[in-house]
Structure 1
Amino acid sequence: MARDLVAGWDRRDRAPGDKPRVLVIGAGIAGMSTGCYAQMSGMETRILEKHVLPGGCCTAWAREGYIFDYTIEWLIGTAEGNDANQLWRELGAFDGKTIKNFAMFNKVVDSDGRSVVFYNDPDRLERHLLEISPADAKLIRAFCRDLRRFIPMNLYPFLTPPPLESVGEKIAKLRTILPAFVLYWRTAATQMKTFADKFADPLLRKAFRNIFFQDPEDFPLLPFLFNMAAAHNDNAGFPQGGSLGLARSIEERYLGLGGDITYRARVARILVEDDRAVGVELKGGERLYADHVVAACDGRTTIYDFLDGRYTGPTIDRLYDELLTKPGTLFPAVVSAFVGIEGDLDADRAHSTTYLLPDSAGPGLPGSLQNSIVVQLRSQYSDGFAPEGKSVIHCTYFSDYSYWKSLRNTDRREYRAQKRQIAEFVREFLVSRLPELAGRIDLVDIATPATTNRYTGNFDGSILAWKAFSDADDLAAKLINKEHMRLPGLRGFSMAGQWVGLGGLIRAASTGRFVTQFLCAELGVEFQAWESSGTEPWHPDKLGHLPQLDARPVR
């Protein structure tokens, strides 16, 4: 029996008093967040998703009982008592789940074997760094002093967009910001690379750049201190079930609120009449109509494919004409190598380690942008990622999307050969650094930036879209604060997601709340939100059926 993709949404006529209808393109975190808040605010919504799973890049896949969790490395908002946590609880993201917190953010190991551990506790971190390099005492104490100052701060502005903040909300924000204004200004104005270059010890010069696993380049000190302080407060933990588990919990919340998600529904274009979005047309020609359309998917696809580039302006033109392909504006894409291991992993090993590689190792990692590889012992993060008696390791590195896209389009055989080369490098490297893994590697599964683009449509395979603190940052903020997440000249339409709110899952989720608040203000509808009351304990079966990434694993 054929699916009814339209299912009542083909009607143009709307009876007086009917609930406002909202179509959402994309069942990523932003799209489902939009659906949840719109449902809570009394609207009727439907989400259209081209894939078979929710979450977008916040996803997982499976092979032979292993679950390869793709995205979350840490998640802001896992501790109670702050606005970020309130947002996640409104979305049901943590219903029935435990949270895993680590004492360290990351470990960095140089090619000569020297290492530094970035503990979240500033006192422990300071002692450790001073043991490594007493000559750098002044810089070490300055960094740890700033980290201590960030720890008591509670600034998570993810509940209300600035244009809609009440006087009380503005005052509360100022009370948080003003006492620390100089600290915020100084750490935002100081580039990490500038700070790191001052260290006398060559390991520290390189290691500080890689606190976030690999060097994000052009980041100031502020985000490093902010996230390490959050981790110290157990507010940057790992939720049970991981990436897809987060997406499934929000999906369950959305469906429980009366929403509907249609999978395998590929949007071809947004229907516009008299400069007003009135619905969408799917690839098969089916048309669905609504009072409002929200695109929570790739920004360029939305503006130039779904809308034929008809609704742009100075902000959009600069973002997508000038900055989209400018080096350093988008977060780099990544190559992922998931490794299935026979037996358990050493519980005393660091859960996350960045290995800085010698120049001779570069050819072993095709398309690499930085000569390093991140090794995360994912079985330490959450239960259920591997069959009983087995474990999972996730290895990643920043990589050039164009290299993989060109290879896949022009020479599929060589594309597969390069993936096998990565698998062979990872096997040999893991055994060289963790000798106890010799003879225990079960399988290796490789995802390239071309894979990310193929499954999610994200431009250049970038998982996090615009890079914070880049030239795009102020322009993206303008889309929220001035444009109210709309495109110039087009009514009945909004955008949500990381192409509006920048990278990070909490930011993606917040754009769903923001866009619904703007829509409620336009419609004269009261915005409503309340925390989920779900209490059923989380278990891996909640992930549902998972697809395989590729027909042939690399063994």
Structure 2
Amino acid sequence: MVRDNPTTRDTRPVWEDRRPRPAAAGRRTRTDRPPGTAPRVIIIGAGIGGLSTGCYAQMSGAETRIFERHVLPGGCCTAWARQDYVFDYCIEWLTGTGRGNDAARVWRELGALDGKSIANFEMFNTVTDENGRSVTFYNDPDRLEAHLLEISPADARPIRAFCRDLRRFTRINLYPFLTPPPLQSPRERLATLRTVLPSFVLLWRTAVTRMESFCDRFEDPLLRRAFPFIFFQDHEVFPLLPYLFNMASAYHLNAGFPQGGSLGLARSVEERYTKLGGRVDYRARVARVLVEDDRAVGVELRNGERHFADHVVSACDGVTTIQGLLGGRYTSPRVEKLFTEMTARPDLLYPGMVSAFVGVDGELDPAARHSTTYLLSDKDCAALPGVMQKSLVVQMRSRYSDGFAPPGKSVVHCTYFSDYASWKRLRTTDRKAYWARKQQVADFVRGFLERHHPGIGRAIEVVDVASPTTTERYTGVRGGSILGWKSFTPADDVITGLINKDRMRLPGLAGFSMAGQWFAGGSLIRAAAGGRFVTQYLCEELGLDFRAWDSGGAVPWHPDRLGHLPQLETRRVR
């Protein structure tokens, strides 16, 4: 059954909530769906993956309800407040902010960018070493080539090779985010082949050339060290392909920063979802998935309420889903490999992140780059608690969007990869030492910013430090790993099999699917596309025609639409 456009009438379902009660052996506690009524779908988690699933399921004729443990949508795509400053946590750039490609189409269907301006920058990042030498990674290949040759004429050969490949990538329009391969029509497969085949050698060569081996070709030590930090941190296992792909996207204004930032993106998708008739229950933590005769029939909340549906989609943490909500009873070789073997491998999983947000009374230097990665000296590394990769990223976040700072004030965001285990151990065993460590971060950041931006120290009003354990408690993401799985690793192959072969399901368990970053891959566009994919598979099972259309929203964005923002911790660093 396919409904009319759900925006034309109120389609919010009446859901049955039940307290746990004794049941006779073999008795089913799920109410069967009357013939001709819309199927009901429960979604666990209101991150981007869960909200996307809800939007597409509503458009396709299902009646959905999302249960979210937090008070805000978005999961890791979030923000919080401190002294009238908004500390935006997730997005550094967003694939799909342009037009004329399938990534942009996904965001239009989800209403994510409705009424918003997009901040585009002429460079991806600037990298500065301990001696003050800098290199800027411009998105324009001609400008980049001239700049790099000026820094090191002796490295003309690798410089020209990189920029030549970047020019080639600017001619490729390949964003495979609409349909999972098993469901693609012959026409869709042919369109992909027409894009891939002419560039096959380029794509293959750049996919097998590791960035670290490419950097060995440089004579200049700055270039050799700086190239891996094009994406702010060193992604270590990345080949050349993702660097070239994303810089080419930014060149076409398709990797910008949306007004409203991370929580603004989540709020827009949440609004799209509720206008389609969906419902989000906040402060509603799911304790387990209800299973009868090897079929998921609903969920039980921590407060004991039971809610029933024809299908359940988990869009929350992977280990929580498999071991917690399902009690480890249902799994598969691929899922076992992901969440037993691969979660213990640091080469496959991003580490946690330390964030220090700085509220400044005054405007930032207009000549300062919007984003700079500083390569740290041994002395600085010894002073910065738990720093990995010997680097610190400094971003002028109030330049990314309005509303992040009060008028006449600014926000700076400083980040670095750090070891989750050491932070977790301190917070668990010695809370006083944990807070002292956060204070160390704050003190270092104050001094570091003063060193590179003289006078800023006197204008700093607040420093807010979030450790990897803060991220885990606030968002539920395991290990504080906001980025999740590293791309271009064996984890990618397992996730691809999960999507294409297992169809985002678990063998032996009917009526249950999985979405979100742990099952669809990292990055916001992949999480959003995962919601589209899982809904297309879901429609096959439920007998629905998959439907999707642009939201068409045009109301201008305003910071007030972020809503009430909580504070992460009641205790502050000085």
TM range (shorter): over 0.9
What are the Cα deviations for residues 434-480 of structure 1, in whole angstroms up to 9, with x where unaligned? Answer: 11313111110010100111122212111121111112110011000
Q: Check whether the contact 1:92–1:532 (CA below 8 A) recurs between aligned residues.
A: yes
Corresponding residue number in structure 2 for 1:164:
183
Query: Aligned pair 1:300/2:319, yes or no?
Result: yes
Of 233, 242, 245, 2:264 maps to 245
Aligned match of 1:107: 126
* 1:207 and 2:260 are equivalent in the alignment: no
Give the one of 344, 359, 368 matched to 1:349: 368
Aligned to 1:523: 542
Q: Provide Cα deviations, 1:367-420, integer angstroms capped at 9, x if missing partner.
A: 212111000000110001001111000000001111111111111111000000
One-letter amino acid of the structure 2 residue matched with residue 178 of structure 1: L
Q: Is the 8 A contact 2:69 2:285 kept in 1?
A: yes
- Aligned residue number for residue 3 of structure 1: none
Which SS does the other structure have where 2:505 is aligned?
coil
Return 103-112 or 520-529, whichever deviates more.
Answer: 520-529
Equivalent residue, structure 2, for 1:285: 304
SS at match of 2:179: coil
* Paired letter, 1:20: P
8 Å CA contact retained: 1:241, 1:382: yes
Q: 1-side partners of 2:217 and 2:428: how far apart?
A: 44
Instruction: Give 2:192's aligned residue.
Output: 173
- Cα deviations by residue, 1:80-117 (Å, 9 ceiling, x for unpaired): 11100010000000111000000000000000110000
More off after superposition, 95-104 vs 319-328: 319-328
In structure 2, the gaps of 5 or more residues are 1-13, 19-29
One-letter amino acid matched to 2:168:
R
CA distance in 2, matches of 1:60, 1:413: 26
Structure-2 residue corresponding to 1:486? 505
2:85 corresponds to which letter in structure 1?
Y
Counterpart for residue 456 of structure 1: 475
Task: Quote how far apart the aligned CAs of 1:7 are.
Answer: 5.0
In structure 2, the residue matched to 1:387 is 406
Residue 550 of structure 1 aligns with which residue? 569
Post-superposition Cα deviations, 1:26-71, rounded to whole Å, max 9, x if no partner, equal 0000000000000000100000000000000000000111000000
What RMSD in Å do the two structures reach over aligned CA positions?
1.0
What corresponds to 2:172 in structure 1?
A: 153
Which of 150, 155, 180 is equivalent to 1:131? 150
Q: Distance in 2 between matches of 1:413 and 1:368?
A: 20
Whether 1:436 aligns to 2:455 is yes
Q: Give unpaired runs (5+ residues) of structure 1.
A: 1-5
1:315 and 2:323 aligned: no
Sequence identity percentage:
67
Larger deviation, residues 11-20 vs 487-496: 11-20
- In 1, Cα distance between equivalents of 2:225 and 2:412: 24
Is the 8 Å Cα contact of residues 30 and 512 (structure 1) preserved in structure 2?
A: yes
- Measured in 1, the distance between the counterparts of 2:449 and 2:31 equals 59
Deviation at 1:9, TM superposition (A): 4.4
| C-alpha distance in 1 between matches for 2:483 and 2:440 | 26
Of the three residues 201, 215, 239, the one matched with 1:196 is: 215
Write the letter of the residue equivalent to 2:70: H
Deviation at 1:17, TM superposition (A): 1.5
Q: Distance in 1 between matches of 2:352 and 2:181?
A: 31
Kindly state the Cα deviation for residue 332 of structure 1 after the two structures are TM-superposed. 1.8
Q: Does the 8 Å CA contact 2:16/2:308 hold for their aligned counterparts? A: no
Q: Which amino acid aligns with 2:36?
A: G
309-318 or 210-219, larger mean C-alpha shift: 309-318
Give secondary structure in 2 for the equivalent of 1:429.
Answer: helix
Q: Distance in 2 between matches of 1:467 and 1:384?
A: 32
Contact map agreement 1:464 1:502 (CA 8 A) in 2: no
State the alpha-carbon separation in 2 of the partners of residues 518 and 440 from structure 1: 54
Compute the displacement of 1:553 (Å): 2.5
Task: Please list, as runs of the form range in 1=range in 2, the aligned pairs for 1:66-85 lying within 5 A after superposition.
Answer: 66-85=85-104
2:27 aligned partner: none
Query: What is the letter of the counterpart of residue 282 of structure 2?
Result: Y
Instruction: Please state how far the C-alpha of 1:346 moved relative to its aligned partner.
Output: 1.7
Q: Residue 33 of structure 2 contacts residue 39 of structure 2 at CA under 8 Å; is this kept in 1?
A: no
The letter for the 1-side match of 2:445 is V
Q: Which residue of 2 aligns with 1:505?
A: 524
Amino acid at match of 2:325: F
Aligned partners of 1:385, 1:257: CA distance in 2, in Å?
29
- Structure 2 residue corresponding to 1:233, chosen from 246, 252, 270: 252
CA contact (8 A) 2:355 2:414 kept: yes
- 1:327-406 equivalences under 5 Å are 327-406=346-425
- Alpha carbons 2:17, 2:305 under 8 Å: kept: no
How far apart are the structure 1 equivalents of 2:536 and 2:35?
23
Paired position in structure 1 for 2:54: 35
Q: By how many angstroms is 1:15 displaced?
A: 2.0
Question: Which of residues 59, 68, 74 is equivalent to 1:55?
Answer: 74
Distance in 1 separating the partners of 2:178 and 2:350: 25
C-alpha distance in structure 2 between counterparts of 1:327 and 1:338, whole Å:
26
Contact 2:468 2:479 in 1 (8 A): yes
Q: Measure, in 2, the Cα distance between the counterparts of 1:186 and 1:519.
A: 36
Does the 8 A contact of 1:9 with 1:290 survive in 2?
Answer: no
The TM-score normalised by the length of structure 1 is 0.98
- Offset of 1:363 from its aligned partner? 2.4
1:445 to 458, 461, 464: 464
Q: Secondary structure at the match of 2:200?
A: helix
Deviation (angstroms), 1:523: 1.8
In the alignment, is residue 8 of structure 1 matched against residue 27 of structure 2?
no
Q: Provide the C-alpha distance between the structure 2 equivalents of 1:369 and 1:453, rounded to a whole number of angstroms.
A: 19
Deviations 1:190-243 (A, max 9, x none): 000110122100000110010010101111000000000000000000000000
Number of the residue aligned with 1:408: 427
User: Is the 8 Å Cα contact of residues 345 and 391 (structure 1) preserved in structure 2?
Assistant: yes
Greater displacement, 311-320 / 499-508: 311-320
Q: CA deviation at 1:14?
A: 2.7
Which one-letter code corresponds to 1:124 in the other structure?
Answer: R
Paired AA for residue 260 in structure 1: R
Distance 1:126 1:449 in 2: 38
Q: Does 1:117 align with 2:136?
A: yes
Q: Which shifted more, 155-164 or 315-324? A: 315-324
| Superposition deviation, residue 175 in structure 1 | 0.4
Which residue in the other structure is 2:291 paired with? 272
Hey, what's the Cα distance between the residues in 1 that align with 2:500 and 2:15?
36
